[in-house]
Amino acid sequence: MARATGIAPSTIGRALREVRNGEVIDPGRVRRPGAGGKLKSATDPSLIDDLRALVEPDTRGDPQSPLLWTCKSLSKLAHALCDMGHQVGRTLVWELLHKLGYRLQANRKTREGTNHPDRDAQFHYINDQVKAALAAGEPAISVDTKKKELVGDFKNAGREWHPQGSPPQVRVHDFVIPELGRAVPYGVYDIADNTGWVSVGIDHDTAAFAINAIRSWWVQMGRERYPDATRLTITADGGGSNGSRVRLWKLQLQELADELHMPITVCHLPPGTSKWNKIEHRLFSFITANWRGKPLVSHKVIVELIAATTTEAGLTVRCQLDPNTYPAGVKVSDAKLQAIKLKRHDFHGDWNYTIEPNPDPTT
């Protein structure tokens, strides 16, 4: 039997004695109960507590922890435990962490900042305003500035198919190339039509730039889509170039309302909820996916990549470079602000308001 199985004769003999003595053999066990080496956590009772103190020093309030300000890799944890007198390796550390319920996890974006007491009520109000506009066949758009991008041969997140061993070569450091600068994409998303417009600016992200992007959308797309429009509804973040407190934004809206000869209603998202803006997940997310892994080497490349963005749900996007300059820090006087025909809504007039156009001097 030893020759047939390769098992040592002494092991076979010990098994035969157990059978003769009537000992019960559990077919699921290899060793007898209590046999084998002891668990390290049993022979080293302080090991578990020391490991916990290393991986969660911030919750335990231990500013002297050796790994408080470093990456908690298995090797570093094992090294720190050895410095504390324990005999462990990275494999044992991995096993202990799993037994304690720890897993490698990335940061999760869940905190939205300020939680205004009227947060939910404002979302319902925005929804009601947009639904009313869509039911009446009026245009309703979501607007925002996408993340500014460095123009040049810089690394762009994501991967793209290339011959093996021949990835695109890009710069090591992300420093602005003066002659190329940055690209500032400002988007307009038509909620009813599932279409987008993006103006790619080369200068400052100001309210004048934002309103010119909305103007370009109307001239290039909106006017044809809504020939009988009598009003325009805009949903926007509460900050940035289209912020609820930006005077220039309201002044530029007045000029746009005068040009379109229609009132413009604006509803701002409550503080800390910018990622809920429809343009973020209906337009910008698909633009980011479309240009993944492609260096944005020129403004022309950026425009073409944005314009080529589509989805199975039917999203189409048009894009245009805005070569104009928009000086920052433009002041709007109290007199100009008071001249704006702004009507605040009964609910949160600081977030919801309508700007009426001035009478057309040609009529």
Same domain (yes/no): 51, 191: no
Same domain (yes/no): 60, 180: no
> For residue 254, is it within any domain?
yes
Split at pLDDT 50, 70, 90, the class of 275 is: confident
Same domain (yes/no): 101, 123: no
Is the separation of the CB atoms in 100 and 92 below 8 Å? no
- Please write the tens of the pLDDT for every residue from 309-351: 999 999 999 999 999 999 999 999 999 999 999 999 999 999 9
Say whether pLDDT at 269 is over 70.
yes
> For residue 27, is it within any domain?
no
Pick the last residue of a domain from 60, 80, 105. Answer: 105
Angle between helices 74-83 and 47-55 (to 10 degrees): 130
> For residue 349, is it within any domain?
yes
Same domain (yes/no): 335, 272: yes
Same domain (yes/no): 181, 300: yes
Q: Residue 97 is part of which domain span?
A: 40-105
> For residue 30, is it within any domain?
no
Counted domains in the chain: 2
Q: Could you tell me the CATH number of the domain that includes residue 296?
A: 3.30.420.10
Mean pLDDT score, 280-304: 94
* Virtual torsion, Cα 190, 259, 145, 172, nearest 10 deg: 120
- Please write the tens of the pLDDT for every residue from 167-224: 888 898 889 999 999 999 999 999 999 999 999 999 999 999 999 999 999 999 999 9
Same domain (yes/no): 144, 236: yes
Same domain (yes/no): 140, 68: no
pTM, whole model, 2 decimals?
A: 0.73
In this predicted structure, what is the pLDDT of residue 343?
97
Same domain (yes/no): 175, 286: yes
Q: CA neighbours within 13 Å on the CB side: how many for 101?
A: 2
> For residue 19, is it within any domain?
no
> For residue 7, is it within any domain?
no
